[in-house]
Structure 1
Amino acid sequence: MAQTPIIEMRCISKRFGQVQANDVVDFSLQRGEIHAIVGENGAGKSTLMKILYGLYQPDKGEIYVDGQPVTISSPKRAMRLGLGMIQQHFTLIPAFTALQNIILAKETRKFGTLLDYQKAEDKITRLAEQVGFDVPLNTPIESLPIGAQQHTEILKVLYHGAEILIMDEPTAVLVPQEIEGLFECMRGLKREGRSIIIITHKLDEVMTIADTVTVMRHGKTVITCPISETNPHQLAEHILGEPVHQRAIERKETNQENPMLQLEDVSVKTGTGKNLLDGINLDVFSGEIVGIAGVEGNGQTELVEILTGLRQIHSGKIILNGESVVNSSTAEFREKQVAHLPADRHRHGVSLNNRIDENFIIGRHKQKLFSRNAMLHQKNIQRFAFNALDKYQILVGDITHQIKTLSGGNQQKVVVARELSGNPTLIIAAHPTRGLDVHAAKFVHTRLIQARNRGKAVLLVSSELDELLLLSDRIAVMYNGRIAGIVVPTSDGGNSNSLSETDKQKLGALMLGLSLEHYSGV
């Protein structure tokens, strides 16, 4: 007798304007199973899971929980049914402590009862020990690293009784050590009989952690199979709907006589005098991609902020094309042709409640092409947006809709299109492919290489070592606010099959604060 799925979704359909996000989709989840859903951006993965969690209502279809038909009208209803969702962009309140965030959504009790913080803290501490998390519960979320913030999100849904966890791109912001810790947690939850749905673009991680995989394309289910019956190459072909051919990225020799960007002994301090950046010296030449590697929290964010007008330095020099730009504003950096692909597109890249076409001109809306007498020139804006949509292969239903209706990957494509179309001299790219599918990531990689080949200077910050080794001419590793060392990749410059394990080990050693003299592979 076949086991009754703990979750079954039958013939789910959902349309947004002209876009059919889900088209008669079937999906099932077994108890104690880790089930991965993969597909290109806009394939319908997140929409399907948001329907399951009550954030969207299906146009058609049925949902069953433990064999019983249910209507999931809201996330609160989903939580009562034992579902919890850890979204790609965390839903925590920065000023609240981890403990406060975890207990915040607990159901209201009878009038007059007070929250027993100590009892709640004891329960959450036991829960954290059970899953192997070490979260400082009384520390504000804004002071915690990303990995600890994610642990807080997971503890929150477990504390509220979730037996089914939906994880949307859970490793997108984690470093390798944190990813393995997350996987150990997931395996532990599986052993306890909990079920997990993971939405991801990382096929190697799918092969490592999942029991079953479902591929979606254009709003439909393409295939569902046990992980033992497939491989990354087959999954990639199902995702793209065509054979996958590995092609090297063409890289031209460029002139590196004069640096486009120079940082000389740059330091940034906190209000208490702690060094966030400590004597940074770095040159980026025209026609060069300089990668920045490091475990999160070692100064990469602050480095990007001082080069995009989001933070001021305390000492040192920043020289752009021979001119000092110390403590310039964001607008001044834009005027000097500095493009910024931000790590957090929701915070710094797009205006979620504005129209799609309007997001294409953020930072450029005062140009004569787009506004006259303080009035926006809608025809020119839409013409510019349509050209960019076509050039960057961005699928939308209606450009007058809010950009938050687009998938995360297509939102990122809008940012890339806007920033690179302005003919920048310096490109600051912070995690530019985070959350993108393999096809979209390849597209962004190609665009960055093309910009390099045209003589643009590129500073690439990424937590993906493969990405850094594939694209970078040089890689600077940050540790404790300093440049710990620089590695020149030894691969053939574009063939992903030849990325050097020795280079990865060198980078890993520097990321841990070890000198290359102590690295046994040198």
Structure 2
Amino acid sequence: MNADTVAAVQPAVQLEGITKRFPGVVANHDIRITVEPGTVHAIVGENGAGKSTLMKILYGMQKPDEGTIRVNGAEVAFRTPSDAIDAGIGMVHQHFMLADNFTVLENIVLGAEPKRGIGLDVAGARARINELAERHGLRVDPDRLVEDLGVGDRQRVEILKVLYRGARILILDEPTAVLVPQEVDELFENLRELTAGGLTVIFISHKLDEVLNIADAITVIRRGTTVASVIPAEVTARQLAELMVGSELPTPETRESTVTDTVTLSVSGLTMEADGHRPAPAGTSVELYLDRLREEGRRLVLDDVSFDIHEGEILGIAGVEGNGQSELIEAIMGLRPAHGGIRLGDADITPWSTLRRREAGIGYIPEDRHRQGLLLEASLWENRVLGHQTRPPARKGIWVNRRAAKADTARIVKDYDVRTPGVDTLALALSGGNQQKLIVGREMSGKPRFLIAAHPTRGVDVGAQAAIWDHLRDARAAGLAVLLISADLDELIGLSDTLRVIYRGRLVARLDPSDVTPERLGGYMTGAITGTEEA
């Protein structure tokens, strides 16, 4: 048997005895995983189980304290991600890292620009990108601006970006978190083409049904160590959940209706220009001004959005990301000006500041916990104060009440199962799911009248997911009005009392959650199904 044949049968990745310690916590302990070449290998586990740390080690972002890593049979010791890339490993992060104002081609070659003499070899780059796209079923237009792409296309660009750098082993971190069912199917077809072409995929996900659909092998991590390696055909989602967290899979089904006749939040005619807010000219009505903008073909990111949310009601907004959800949140929170009106109970809050809206009882679970929800370099108790700094327990006179804030943070840690050594721990030391549980606990603790919940369970495990759903259901039963925006269609359908679909800035359908499937909902979200509003 020659050397080439021996190399061909070596595992693509072999992790043996990987251990990583941080002050006060052991993130990984004696991890052992073997990933065969040309397969999709899924890694599952609850938040804080050590998946993210393990992938950072494999991608050269952190060094293990103990253990060895072998890639295609050769032992490696990565100091930086560049070392991992040189070894043929690429990583697509959950939060896309693309420049919106660059083209697809510019994003793909950024940092690995092809040279032709002293200039850029644009033609060579375009030819190589087109060849990779065609070979792996990842077709995108190299000359389109990224800001004009949908979420599925952006993900294909991220995959092409690592393939362009020569990756043969791909790490995909929560790749379906922001995709509708049709886009998930397309991604899985792409992954099958990649593995058929000899590439290896390490697939990290919390969605166990998807893992069972796409994976050739599954490794389960619990509390920092590997507890099982299973074949998808020999395990059910329920059994996999029990391996992960020792409990059955939760379902986001709501209980009996708690919707009352009392309107908590009313939004009327909300409209926002894409290129910045301008008041209607003097002597011109807002309606006439907006009609003029439409006639001129000016892009509106929100176009005449109106709805009411009642006490005890969860209104779900479904839509592919980039169709106006973020702008709707910003308008309600007072972060961006818009035409139209917003009422909280009997009060017209349209001219109010964000702080005044918060003080009036609006809670906010943001869509991006790192950019909008936390100060990562601050302690947990300091993050508890964020957005609530003018109210008890954070405020005492003109000072921050540290003792009360710390005590309430300890209560949130206990009630919401935030796994941390203590309330003085920095937020960056927590796993993504534990960061999310802290934010949910903070926003639910302010006794809000109305809550914006944007992707409340994104990136959390099945156990934390169930806890967050229970908290939302209990608050709903107590009279809380909730605007739920989520890319998890099962979550939207299961939790919502009413469903609305947003498409290109307009509410295009009203659907009955008890009588709609994720596939049909996805059809409305992508514009494949059109028609008048339902039920």
**Counterpart pick for 1:360 among 374, 380, 384:** 384
Residue identity opposite 1:58 in structure 2: P
**Alignment match, 2:261:** 257
* Residue 52 of structure 2 is aligned to residue 46 of structure 1: yes
**Alignment match, 1:329:** 353
Partner Cα separation in structure 2 for residue 451 and residue 123 of structure 1 = 54
* Deviation digits for residues 447-505 of structure 1 (CA, Å, limit 9, x no counterpart): 11111100010111122221112111111122232222212233xxxxxxxxx5x4546
Tell me the secondary structure at the aligned position of residue 420 of structure 1. Answer: helix
* Residue 165 of structure 2 is aligned to residue 160 of structure 1: yes
* Residue 298 of structure 2 is aligned to residue 273 of structure 1: yes
Q: How much does 1:426 deviate? A: 0.4
Q: How much does 1:68 deviate? A: 1.5
* Deviation digits for residues 349-402 of structure 1 (CA, Å, limit 9, x no counterpart): 112222222111111234464356865443333222211111110001343333
* Residue 50 of structure 2 is aligned to residue 37 of structure 1: no
Contact 1:249 1:446 in 2 (8 A): no
**Counterpart pick for 2:375 among 311, 328, 351:** 351
Contact 2:343 2:350 in 1 (8 A): yes
Q: How much does 1:16 deviate? A: 1.9
**Counterpart pick for 2:452 among 422, 428, 435:** 428
Tell me the secondary structure at the aligned position of residue 61 of structure 1. Answer: strand
**Alignment match, 2:132:** 127
**Counterpart pick for 2:494 among 442, 464, 470:** 470
**Alignment match, 1:87:** 93
Relative to 1, partners in 2 of residues 1:255 and 1:80: Cα closer, same or farther, differing over 3 Å?
closer
Contact 1:509 1:516 in 2 (8 A): no
Partner Cα separation in structure 1 for residue 166 and residue 250 of structure 2 = 45
* Residue 178 of structure 2 is aligned to residue 173 of structure 1: yes
Partner Cα separation in structure 2 for residue 295 and residue 25 of structure 1 = 37
Residue identity opposite 2:77 in structure 1: T
Trace 1:281-292 onto structure 2 (pairs within 5 A): 281-292=306-317
- Identical aligned pairs, as a percentage? 42
Q: How much does 1:109 deviate? A: 7.4
Partner Cα separation in structure 1 for residue 449 and residue 76 of structure 2 = 55
Partner Cα separation in structure 2 for residue 517 and residue 262 of structure 1 = 22
Tell me the secondary structure at the aligned position of residue 385 of structure 2. Answer: coil
* Residue 521 of structure 2 is aligned to residue 507 of structure 1: yes
Contact 1:276 1:302 in 2 (8 A): yes
* Deviation digits for residues 91-142 of structure 1 (CA, Å, limit 9, x no counterpart): 33344333222112328979x7432122112211222232233434344434
Residue identity opposite 1:507 in structure 2: L
* Deviation digits for residues 176-195 of structure 1 (CA, Å, limit 9, x no counterpart): 22211111111111011110
**Alignment match, 1:400:** 424
Partner Cα separation in structure 2 for residue 137 and residue 407 of structure 1 = 35
Contact 1:479 1:513 in 2 (8 A): no
Count of aligned residue pairs for this structure pair: 507
**Alignment match, 1:207:** 212
Residue identity opposite 1:204 in structure 2: D
Q: How much does 1:277 deviate? A: 1.8
When normalised by structure 2's length, the TM-score is: 0.89
**Alignment match, 2:294:** none
Partner Cα separation in structure 1 for residue 424 and residue 62 of structure 2 = 21
Q: How much does 1:12 deviate? A: 0.5
Residue identity opposite 2:318 in structure 1: A
Residue identity opposite 1:392 in structure 2: Y
Residue identity opposite 2:224 in structure 1: G
Contact 2:388 2:446 in 1 (8 A): no
Q: How much does 1:312 deviate? A: 1.7
Relative to 1, partners in 2 of residues 1:203 and 1:394: Cα closer, same or farther, differing over 3 Å?
same
**Alignment match, 2:285:** none
Trace 1:180-259 onto structure 2 (pairs within 5 A): 180-242=185-247, 244=248, 251-254=255-258, 256-259=260-263
**Alignment match, 2:286:** none
Partner Cα separation in structure 2 for residue 26 and residue 351 of structure 1 = 34
Cα RMSD after superposing both structures: 2.5
Tell me the secondary structure at the aligned position of residue 307 of structure 1. Answer: helix
Q: Which ranges in structure 2 are unaligned for 5 or more consecutive residues?
A: 1-5, 276-296
Residue identity opposite 1:270 in structure 2: A
**Counterpart pick for 1:308 among 324, 333, 337:** 333
Contact 1:124 1:159 in 2 (8 A): yes
**Counterpart pick for 2:13 among 7, 12, 18:** 7
Tell me the secondary structure at the aligned position of residue 360 of structure 1. Answer: helix
Does 206-215 or 251-260 show the bigger shift? Answer: 251-260
**Counterpart pick for 1:489 among 490, 513, 519:** 513
Contact 1:12 1:59 in 2 (8 A): yes
Contact 1:487 1:503 in 2 (8 A): no
Partner Cα separation in structure 1 for residue 444 and residue 147 of structure 2 = 31
Does 118-127 or 57-66 show the bigger shift? Answer: 118-127
Partner Cα separation in structure 2 for residue 256 and residue 373 of structure 1 = 37
Residue identity opposite 1:87 in structure 2: H
* Deviation digits for residues 400-434 of structure 1 (CA, Å, limit 9, x no counterpart): 33312211111111110111100000011111111
* Residue 23 of structure 2 is aligned to residue 20 of structure 1: no
* Residue 474 of structure 2 is aligned to residue 459 of structure 1: no
**Alignment match, 1:67:** 73
Q: How much does 1:35 deviate? A: 0.2
Does 331-340 or 444-453 show the bigger shift? Answer: 331-340
**Counterpart pick for 1:442 among 466, 469, 485:** 466
Tell me the secondary structure at the aligned position of residue 393 of structure 1. Answer: coil
**Alignment match, 1:493:** none
Q: How much does 1:310 deviate? A: 2.4
Partner Cα separation in structure 2 for residue 197 and residue 425 of structure 1 = 43
Does 411-420 or 347-356 show the bigger shift? Answer: 347-356
Partner Cα separation in structure 2 for residue 131 and residue 213 of structure 1 = 23
* Residue 173 of structure 2 is aligned to residue 149 of structure 1: no
Residue identity opposite 1:69 in structure 2: E
Contact 1:44 1:218 in 2 (8 A): yes
* Residue 404 of structure 2 is aligned to residue 380 of structure 1: yes
Partner Cα separation in structure 1 for residue 210 and residue 254 of structure 2 = 28
Relative to 1, partners in 2 of residues 1:489 and 1:168: Cα closer, same or farther, differing over 3 Å?
same
